Chains A and B, each alone.
Chain A
Amino acid sequence: MWKLIFFRLLKAIPVLLVIATITFFMLRLTPGGPFDREKPIKDPEIKKQLEAHYGLDKPLSAQYLEFLGKLMVGDLGPSFKHSNRTVNEVIVKAFPVSAELGLWSLLVALGLGLTAGMIASIRPNSFLDYTPMTLAMVGICVPTFVMGPILILVFSLKLEWFNASGWDQWADRVLPALTLGGVYAAYVARLTRGGMLEVMSQDYIRTARAKGASEARVLLKHGLRGGLMPVVAFLGPAVAGLISGSFVVETIFQIPGLGRHFVEAAFNRDYTMVMGTVLFFAALIILLNLLVDIIQVWLNPRLRGT
């Protein structure tokens, strides 16, 4: 197990390096710098000063090496657009907000999804199956950026139960978490149903029944673990999805999280900020995927090395 973790972390380093290099050169090699587009700075003197300030006047290879050097010690450089703030500062401030949103959403996704999926799998092709599965289909087909505004419209503008935006009180968590978690709840529900149906048709379930185990015991002790494997496997992509979903949700609900900063940075071509957040997200996704893999190995004895 420790070996696995070690090697995976080792493998993550070149991956991150590749990402860093690609993003760096893609951003630098395209014509025009951050100060050229949208609102070009007319005065060449000011532009020169700005470029010197951000080290853009040096040769590209020097810039790259400097960037890598700083990256090694975890310094992502200053933000081009947020003057006086470094990318690190922005991330440190905004990430906890996003992480909290992510956790709440994951809770919603698993809570709603698992329940719905389990219910649906008990009696396939019955009313109890169709209802949650239709809801799940709705969840998948109504994207976050439609669901979010609808929830706002109904629950904050019409019913006035929650604030339409902000991240101050406990109640502010509800709508964003529902919006972001809802989609993944739908996927989880479908995967749970599929996994449970698959498992419940296995030979070893028949064995369990032949032992005289009650249906509840068959389901919980013998079925659940195997049935949830697809859900666990999905957690990796889901985490990546939650992160990109957070861009939308944080924008809609005006939550001061990292996702929103990333989108703004992308919009404003704030290169250092974009690069910093991309690397941060990449590292996060790799780490979380590793975590998911560990959970999978822990749940499935066949994956454990002998």
Chain B
Amino acid sequence: MSYLTVDNLKTYFHTRNGVVKAVDDISFSLEQGKVLGIVGESGSGKSVTVHSLMGLIPQPPGKIEGGSARFDDTDLLAADKQLLRALRGKRIAMIFQDPMTSLNPYLRVSEQIIEPLIIHDNITRQNALDRAIKMLEKVGIADAEKRIHSYPHEFSGGMRQRVMIAMALITDPEVLIADEPTTALDVTVQAQILRLLQELQDDLGVSVIFITHDLGVIAELANQVAVMYRGKIVEQGEVLQIFDNPHHPYTKGLLACRPRLESTFKVLPTVSDFLEEYEKDGQLELKERPDADTCIKDMQQITMPNIDHSDVLLEVKDLRVHFPVRQRFFSGSEGWVKAVDGISFSVPRGSTLGLVGESGCGKTTTGRAILNLVKPTSGRVKFAGDEIAGAEPKAMLPYRKRMQIIFQDPYSSLNPRLTIEQTLSEPMAVHKIGTAKDRKDRVVSLLEEVGLESHFLRRYPHEFSGGQRQRICVARALALEPEFIVCDEAVSAMDVSVQAQVLNLLKQLQRRRGLTYIFISHDLSVVKFMADSMAVMEGGKIVELGDSEEIYSQPKEDYTRRLIDAIPRDNVEFIQERISGNR
């Protein structure tokens, strides 16, 4: 039975630079007691869709241009504010992406959880509080009776999201809209929250619209799936059908470009291998490439260079980085944060070492300490046989040419006041490589190497998309012809389709130039795709180190196993099992 039916929804934003059709004529329906997953990359319009339904679009500049959303005889899009308010938080509840900012920092959690009850139900405060405590227990917050009187900042990210869920479900809503509720969380926490949502959904029979960019999450949770691309739903259907037999080239591309634990791709397919975009009469047309499958097969016909394990380029021994924690002026003693606490590993020339772990495990500090961007407290870093740990800037200079780093955030890693040409030629000028003319030629060839056109030279970083910027960062890292690059969460901020392109680029460069990488990421499947060997970090220590294939197939440590289990499973068998098992 259809519960919430959206027909021909159109939401446009009227900006100074013209009309942006954020949601352009989409229709879908939510069935009672089911989970509808809406999946799409950033800018696809998935969040705008649900915000439109809830009347949460800022107007202006946003405007709902047409369509209807029937919920139980009410058209949500046409309903007056009063009516919509009565539905919101009572019959349709919502949870948001960032639990850090979505709770009011000034109010106690108790106040915030009981608020929907106070607003919608005729209930005494005490009764509301009792229900809130029960709800908190239900979402897995221990000692709820006491914790309920805390402020949001006293909870961790995962706990806050549990609080959000409790707050949304306290009025027994019929529909729950979850807008990327696990995106800001660590994998293990994400897995817990997903499990919790699933249990609650079974338990309460609430219908869920689940928005995400992550197909894995969809596979874990959804019954129906709608795939959004550029404001339109390009494909929708049962979850199994979408994963097993996708029709639309975009869906195919999206599914294929995700690195997976069990896949053996040497080169990742990208969306553009499946999908051709062109403009016709001012309208965007999408067309399938007929030769996609063979094309992807051909791509895999490459031989990976052999790695000589005795030729060690980088050796790290008992590296420690401790940061002082400054206490208040008067209360004396200084504590230490042991960000990296005695780790050792070595990286053979031409290979990739993956560093994985959850946020705060010390992987990023490790990368920076190797490059002397933070001073190691103790330990040794040998690069090509030379000791460089804690070297002075002058002594470090010759090694700066040989070892480089690529950062996570392509927005803050380019100086906004320099053109691309200035950014790329500066390191060469500083190291006195070639004449000005040579350098310009080199810059052009660097851009070509990372897949950008040379007429971008005079542009400034803000004129590029995130993926393009990251390519520029790669080019900058290559400018000095290094042997070794630290990739610090280099693809974490990207959409999967862009991520695939950048990963392919990094691999291609490694083959072509014989580069050695340390690849830092929280995403095991990405590390698995990139790395030959890997180190799992927890609390500043390496808990498991070895061949990446082996670690995946036979993890020795509990922590590693938990990390692997936490990865959302998106294979067809799993979905089949889940669906048949559930209902």
Which A residues are within 8 Å of any B CB, using their own CB? 7, 202-204, 206-214, 217, 221-222, 225-226, 299-302, 306
Contacts and interface: CB of A to CB of B under 8 A. Distances in A.
Given A211-B115, A211-B119, A204 B104 contact: yes
21 contacts: A202-B101, A203-B101, A204-B102, A204-B105, A206-B56, A207-B94, A207-B102, A207-B164, A207-B167, A210-B89, A210-B93, A210-B94, A211-B167, A212-B85, A212-B88, A214-B85, A222-B107, A225-B106, A301-B106, A301-B108, A302-B151
B115 A210 contact: no
Nearest to A206: B56
Nearest to A224: B106
A66 B145 CA distance: 62
Nearest to B164: A207
A302 B86 contact: no
A302 to B, nearest CB: 5
Nearest to B100: A203
Nearest to B87: A212
Nearest to A299: B106
Contacts of A226: 104-106
B98 A217 contact: no
Contacts of A207: 94, 96, 102-104, 164, 167
Nearest to A217: B119
Nearest to B117: A211
B440 interface: no
Contacts of B119: 211-214, 217
B330 interface: yes
B154 interface: yes
Contacts of A202: 101
Name which of A7, A213, A226, A300 has the most chain B CB atoms within 10 A of its CB. A213
Nearest to A306: B154
B230 interface: no
B56 A210 contact: yes
B523 to A, nearest CB: 25
B102 A203 contact: yes
Given A206-B96, A212-B86, A212-B120, A222 B104 contact: yes
B116 interface: yes
Interface in B108-123: 108, 115-116, 119-120
Contacts of A206: 56, 96, 102
B400 interface: no
A210 B91 CA distance: 11
Nearest to A208: B104
Nearest to A125: B60
A208 B115 CA distance: 9
A206 B153 CA distance: 18
A-B residue pairs, 10 tightest by C-beta: A212-B89, A211-B89, A212-B88, A203-B101, A210-B94, A301-B151, A204-B104, A225-B106, A203-B102, A211-B116
Nearest to A210: B94
B115 A204 contact: no
Given A204-B102, A207-B96, 11 more contacts: A204-B103, A204-B105, A207-B102, A208-B104, A211-B115, A211-B116, A211-B167, A212-B86, A214-B119, A302-B151, A306-B154
A209 B88 contact: yes
Name which of A211, A214, A299, A302 has the most chain B CB atoms within 10 A of its CB. A211
Contacts of A217: 119
B507 interface: no
Name which of A206, A210, A306 has the most chain B CB atoms within 10 A of its CB. A210
Interface of B: 54, 56, 85-90, 93-94, 96, 98, 101-108, 115-116, 119-120, 151, 153-154, 164, 167, 330
Given A226-B106, A302-B105, A213 B96 contact: no
Contacts of B164: 207
Contacts of B56: 206, 209-210
Contacts of B94: 207, 210
Nearest to B54: A210
Contacts of A221: 107
Name which of B56, B85, B153, B154 has the most chain A CB atoms within 10 A of its CB. B85
A202 B465 CA distance: 25
Nearest to A201: B58
A45 B119 CA distance: 85
Contacts of A306: 154
Contacts of A302: 105, 151, 153
A227 to B, nearest CB: 10
A222 B105 CA distance: 9
Contacts of A212: 85-90, 116, 119-120
Nearest to B90: A212
Given A211-B88, A212-B89, A301 B102 contact: no
B395 to A, nearest CB: 43
Contacts of B167: 207, 211
B105 A203 contact: no
A221 B101 CA distance: 16
Contacts of B103: 204, 207
A175 to B, nearest CB: 38
A300 B85 CA distance: 29
Nearest to B86: A212
Contacts of A213: 85, 89, 115, 119
Contact of B106 (A211, A214, A300): A300
Nearest to A222: B104
Contacts of B96: 203, 206-207, 210
Contacts of A299: 106
B426 to A, nearest CB: 37
B414 to A, nearest CB: 27
A128 B155 CA distance: 40
Contacts of B330: 7
A87 B98 CA distance: 59
B214 to A, nearest CB: 20
A217 B88 CA distance: 14
A212 B86 CA distance: 6
Contacts of B153: 301-302
B410 to A, nearest CB: 24
Nearest to A6: B330
A209 B330 CA distance: 44
Nearest to B60: A125
A203 B86 CA distance: 21
A225 B56 CA distance: 22
A203 B88 CA distance: 16
A131 B103 CA distance: 33
A158 B154 CA distance: 61
A209 B116 CA distance: 10
B402 to A, nearest CB: 44
Name which of B56, B107, B108 has the most chain A CB atoms within 10 A of its CB. B107
A222 B86 CA distance: 18
Contacts of B87: 212
Nearest to A302: B153
Nearest to A209: B56
Contacts of B54: 210
Contacts of B105: 204, 226, 300-302
A191 B116 CA distance: 31
Contacts of A211: 88-89, 93, 115-116, 119, 167
Given A301-B106, A302-B151, A210 B101 contact: no
Contacts of B85: 212-214
Contacts of B106: 225-226, 299-301
Contacts of B88: 209-212
Contacts of A222: 104, 107
A21 to B, nearest CB: 22
B543 to A, nearest CB: 30
A211 B106 CA distance: 17
A259 to B, nearest CB: 34
